[in-house]
Structure 1
Amino acid sequence: MVFGPASELGVGLFEDTAAFEYVPGRSDEEAESIIRAVYRQVLGNAYVMESERATIPESQFKLGELSVREFVRAIAKSDAYMSRFFDKAPRYRFIELNFKHLLGRAPNSFEEMRAHSTILDNGGYEAEIDSYLDSDEYQEAYGEFFVPFYRGYKSKPGQTMVEFTHMFAMLRGASSSDFKGSLAGKTPVLNKNIIQGTPLAVIPPSSGVAGNGWSFQDTTLGARSRHGVGASSNGKVYRIEVTAYASPGAVNRVSRFRRSNKVYLVPFEKLSDEYKRIHRQGGQIASITSI
C-alpha cells in the first residue's frame, strides 16, 4: 500500500502511470515510448542530448534483437550512465543509485551495499551492473519486457521502517533529477543512516500553493501528544508530525488550521502501529524523525 496520499508525498505520477511493457511486433512509435521510459528510469530523469543516445542498442531494440532488459543493460553500461553516476560520484552514492535505477528501491542494509562494493572491487563496473540485471529480484519484478519502475515507496509485509523511509529520502518527486536536480548532489543520501540502520524523515515536498493545507506547519505545545515516551527498551523515540485531520463539522475537507497538526512522540517498537492508527483516523503523516 502507499504510505499516505501519493500526490502529497511526491510519488503521485508513479502511482498514476502504468508500467511500460513492450510486446514484440508493436509499432515504432510504441518502441520509442519504451526507449524514452528506459532513458528516464536508468538515467535518473536526467536530460539526454542526442549525442548521448545509444543509437546502436536503440536500433537493435527496434529490430527485436534486444529485449527491454538487455536495452536497460546497454544504457546502464553506456558512457552517459558512467560519466554521470560512476566517474563523478563516491562509490556508495553510485551503488545506492544503481539500486534505485535498476531495482526501483533503496538498498535494504549496509551489508547489501557492501556486497555490491565487493562486486565492484572484484569484477569491475560491468559486473556491478550485471549483478542487478541478472538477479532473481529483477526477473521477478520486471522480467524481460517491463521497464524498471520505482516500487520501494510502497510498504509491504516484512519491510522495515528503515527500508521504507530510505526510499522516500532518495525519491523526491517525479520532476527531480539524480544528476542535477538532487539536493544530495554527489553525496550519498543514506550515508551513516544505512550503516546504523536509522530511519530518515519522510517529508513530502511542498505544493507551493498558498493555503493548500497539507504542508506541515509546526504546532504549539498545546497541540502535541506524547505516547509512550521512555517506554522503549533502548531509549529510541521518534517524532511523528501529522496534519490534515478533518476540521470539526467539515465533510471531506482538509483542515487548514495550525491547531489541526499534531506531534506524537513514539518509541520505535510502536512506530508501525502508530502510523497505521493515524491513517485509520484520517490523518496524514508529514514527517518521521528520530529524537
Structure 2
Amino acid sequence: MTFGPASPLGVALYEDTPPFEMWPGRSEEEAQAIINAVYRQVLGNAYVMESERLAVPESQFKRGELSVREFVRAVAKSELYRSRFFDSCPRYRYTELACKHLLGRAPDGYEEMKAHSQILDEKGFEADIDSYLDSDEYQEVFGEDTVPFLRGYKTQTGKKMVGFTHFFKLQRGASSSDLKGSLSGKSPRLNGLVIQEVATAVVPPSGGSSGWSFSEPPINPRARQGAGATEEGQMYRIEVTGYRSNVVNRVSKFRRSNKVYLVPFDRLSEEYKRIHRQGGVISSITPV
C-alpha cells in the first residue's frame, strides 16, 4: 500500500515493490532478478548495455560465491560506476549519489559529506565505497542478502526533516535516471542546502499534480512571498497522514487521520518535531 499521496509524489512504485532478497535455494530466474535490481539501484536507474555488465561477479553471485552485499560492492567499485559517477562528477555530487545508491537516502548533513571527503583524500575511491557498505547503518537496514532500496522518501523518527525534503531533490520519480534526466546535469543538487541544513519544497514530478514543473521555478522557495511569510522564507503547507496515538490502547485526539498545517519557513523544524511527537507521518511539504 502506498502512503498518503504517494503517486503524486512519484514514489508509489518504491512503496509497492517489496525489497529484493536472496534466499537459499533460489532459482536461476530469481538470482537474475536480484542482479538486475542491483544494477538498477547502484547505477541510479541508468541503462546498462550487455557489454558493460560484470560477467565475472555475476557468475560468482549465481554460484553462491558472493553475497548480495559483495555483489553490490563489485558493481559500486567497478569502472562502470566510477566512470559514470566519480571521475566525471564533482566530489559532492558523487557523495550525494553514493548515499542514495548505497544507503537509499540523501546525505544526513554536512558532517557526513565532510567525513566522506576526508576518506577520499586519505584513502581513495574504493575505501569510500567500503565505508558505506561496511557501515552499521547498511548492516542494520540491508544486511548481507537484501538489495539496497530507496527509503529516504519516508520521514523517520530521529532523522532531520531536511533529509526527507532533500531526497526529492535527488529522485524525481521511478523513470528518472542519475546519469541523464536532469537540467542541472552533473552539478551537485544539495551542496549548499546540506551545508546550511536548508529544507526545500517537495515538488511532484511530471504528471504528479497540476502544478509540477520539469525545472525549478524562477522564484526561490526561500524568498519572501505571500501574506504572513517571514523574512527568511515563505509559508509552507505540511500535509500529515496516518495520525495515531503514541501510547498503546489510547485513541488519537485527532478525529481525522489527515491534517494540513501552514507554517513559515523558520518554524518548519519545530513543526516537524511536534508532528512526530504526536504520532503523525508527513506525506508532503510544499510552498504556498
State if a TM-score over 0.5 links the two structures.
yes
Superposed displacement of residue 168, structure 1: 1.1
Consecutive unaligned residues of structure 1, counting only runs of 5 or more, are: 209-213, 218-223, 244-261
Match of 1:135 in 2: 135
Superposed displacement of residue 171, structure 1: 1.0
* Structure-2 separation of matches of 1:198 and 1:155: 16
Consecutive unaligned residues of structure 2, counting only runs of 5 or more, are: 213-224, 240-259
Q: Which amino acid aligns with 1:266?
A: P
* Structure-2 separation of matches of 1:237 and 1:68: 44
* Structure-1 separation of matches of 2:163 and 2:238: 21
Match of 2:210 in 1: 215
Superposed displacement of residue 276, structure 1: 5.5
Match of 1:240 in 2: 236
Mapped pair 1:199 → 2:214: no
* Structure-1 separation of matches of 2:2 and 2:270: 14
Q: Percent identity?
A: 58
Match of 2:286 in 1: 287
Match of 1:5 in 2: 5
Greater C-alpha radius of gyration: 1
Match of 2:41 in 1: 41
Assess if the C-alpha contact under 8 Å between 2:233 and 2:264 holds in 1: yes
2:71 counterpart SS class: helix
| Aligned pair partner of 2:264 in 263, 266, 270 | 266
Superposed displacement of residue 110, structure 1: 1.0
* Structure-2 separation of matches of 1:102 and 1:162: 19
Assess if the C-alpha contact under 8 Å between 1:226 and 1:264 holds in 2: no
Assess if the C-alpha contact under 8 Å between 1:58 and 1:71 holds in 2: yes
Assess if the C-alpha contact under 8 Å between 2:2 and 2:16 holds in 1: no
1:287 counterpart SS class: strand
1:99 counterpart SS class: helix
How big is each residue's C-alpha offset from its partner over 1:183-205, in whole Å with a ceiling of 9 and x where there is no partner? 33210010211111111111001
Superposed displacement of residue 272, structure 1: 5.9
Change (3 A) 1:22 1:108: same
Superposed displacement of residue 265, structure 1: 5.2
CA RMSD in angstroms comes to: 3.0
* Structure-2 separation of matches of 1:88 and 1:101: 17
Question: Which deviates more from structure 2 when the two are superposed, residues 184-193 or residues 145-154?
Answer: 184-193
1:112 counterpart SS class: helix
Superposed displacement of residue 271, structure 1: 5.7
Assess if the C-alpha contact under 8 Å between 1:2 and 1:153 holds in 2: no
Q: Which amino acid aligns with 1:215?
A: S
Q: TM-score, normalization: structure 2? A: 0.79
Q: How many residue pairs align between the two structures? A: 251
1:111-190 aligned at under 5 Å gives the runs 111-190=111-190
* Structure-1 separation of matches of 2:68 and 2:141: 13
Assess if the C-alpha contact under 8 Å between 1:34 and 1:147 holds in 2: yes
2:286 counterpart SS class: strand
Q: Which amino acid aligns with 2:126?
A: E
Match of 1:100 in 2: 100
Superposed displacement of residue 163, structure 1: 1.3
Q: Which amino acid aligns with 1:268?
A: D
Match of 2:23 in 1: 23
Superposed displacement of residue 206, structure 1: 3.2
* Structure-2 separation of matches of 1:52 and 1:20: 22
Q: TM-score, normalization: structure 1? A: 0.78
Q: Which amino acid aligns with 2:43?
A: L
